Structure 1
Amino acid sequence: MIILIWTIGSALELWNAYIIPSPMRTLQSTIRLLENGTLFKHIVASLNRVLIGFIVAFFLAFPLGIMLGMKTKLIHYFNPILEFVRHVPPLATVPMLILWFGIGEMSKIVIIILASFFPIFLNTLNGVLHCDKKLLEVGESFGLSSYEKFYKIILPATLPYIFVGMRLGLGYSWRALIGAELVAASSGIGYMILDAQQLSRTDVVIVGILTIGILGSAIDYLFFKLTQYFTILKEGDQQHGWS
């Protein structure tokens, strides 16, 4: 529907083509950017930053969420600092990170870590806290060790929560990265959009926006399917029991 309105409006010249280029011109720009490798280069740069930052955030947030979920007394010690940092928008740290690390990769990776850490951490913690206490009691009655209880009971019960957190974390990190690239970057989709805006290339700006939406939707769909799969798997395990 949007494309149809866009096409008809451009054909009838309802708006200035300089401000909103036609779909055909945008498509031609997309093809040209793909052929010369420019779009692919910026996509790879952005995805590489997201991947590195997200992996680091996961390996910080996941064990911390598990630890605090299993040792609830520690929550009181960690909660004040975590709550403080959680309420600071990642993009608000951009000026400070540029002063510390410059406009290189590190500043943007730290922003991604800040953006994706808390969704993963909070959902992991929530998953552990909502683990079926009766299953844990049964595990203890069977003489399961702490490792066996974690591997056979806690982790399967927490996986759906973890994937929801990862899904949210990726969405937040993607948005934060694009914002950071608009401010301080020499590559990436955000940089491509800013560079196109400075050159008055509205068609390239639209290509960048569409690329962000398509990639973000694809990543979100992937984690939605993973969450769905592990939720079904968990329900199947609960029906058949565990050994």
Structure 2
Amino acid sequence: MIARGSSGVSQRTMAATFALGCIVAAATRAEAGLVVSVEAPGVMSSKVSGITTETFDGLPPGIASSLDTAVGTLASRGRFAILNADSYGGADAGGEYISLGAQSGSPAPMTLTFASPQAYFGMWWSAADAYNEITFYSGQQALGSFNSPFVLDALNALPDGRKYYGNPNGWGDASEPFAYLNFFGTGGTTITSVVFANSGTTATGFESDNWSIASVAPSTIRGTIIAGAIVPEPSSLVLAGVACAAGGLAAVRWRSRRTR
């Protein structure tokens, strides 16, 4: 016979309910821990104070698999490309930008590793498309993934959404949005590395520029917040739920002994 508490609900049911509540709570914490916002149309660089920025300007154009940048070490098992400004990228009508996928001829992801934990990351997302993927890590733990299709829909839904379309330097590409994104760590959340991918395809490119970081969380979140832009990692939610359920089951058993 299954021991029951004073409420008449089985230990197993109470533990399962407790686990579900823990998973939901964990999802909420993950969303709150990494907040995404978008700057106004036409903004191509971070407006956060106290930042360090990699503009990619002055680097030799071409294909590479590793690079020491102003914001961290970049490495790929494949290749990425440093390109002169064109219709797909290059902030402020000049300089250079970075891309993987179509321009590099490689679908392999690239990883940006910071020298120390950072509470803020920003980038100019140029010629944006739904294949572009970003995953944020704190040590070995994935914090969550950037939901590109969702964010593209969110940009379209903004009152000035159509103003994001087309290279703001006047270089065409009217079918794709160009937007500066901010990723803020809240509640003590920090990022140690960022993985960029392009859904394993070279049919499109993942273009970006003006990567910025800050080790101290900004006092205010700039821009328009896009709720739901980060998808929490399922593994972290399940582990949180299992641990929470174990605690809940122990509490139920203790309560059962007290009420016999």
- Using structure 1 for the length normalisation, give the TM-score: 0.27
More strand by share: 2
Of Structure 1 and Structure 2, the greater helix share is in: 1
Between 1 and 2, higher relative CO (CA 8 Å, sep ≥ 6) is seen in 2
